[in-house]
Amino acid sequence: MKPISGIMSAAPTAESASMQGLPPEALDRVAAYFQALSEPTRLRLLNLLRDGERNVGDLAQACGYTAANVSRHLALLTQHGLVKRESRGTSVYYRIADASVYALCDLVCGNIARTLAHPARSAAAFAVPPPRATAARKPAPR
């Protein structure tokens, strides 16, 4: 997206999009995207799809869930554009729609790994500071 007389064009490209300055409606979509990634089963399914497309039965067997449960999760991932769906006869195959989701997940995993590598520092970040001691007040002179 190139500035035109100090104004950006209305449609950002994938390369230029930034969360900064997004309108509330766009932030809602960003939050929904992250919400789709917030369920461990869906993350497991995305990991299974790293190696290529798979059908619902294969995915269900690989992760130990029912095909119906896996289908529900895949439908949500499809709705958010994370996976693509293709019917072939009586089977439905899924594949990753945008591999950049792995870069995002790997970034988050790296951040968590760094935090866990320094437990004292991460614990300190969540520690509640002790209450400050207050000095005993002297009575006001009369």
Return the pLDDT at 5. Answer: 34
pTM for the predicted model, two decimal places: 0.70
Q: Pick the closest to residue 90 from 135, 57, 60 (CA basis).
A: 57
User: Which amino acid type is present at position 13?
Assistant: T
Confidence (pLDDT) at 135:
57
pLDDT at 18: 83
| Per-residue pLDDT at 137 | 60
The predicted structure's pLDDT at residue 114: 87
Low-confidence ranges of the chain (pLDDT < 70): 1-16, 120-128, 132-142
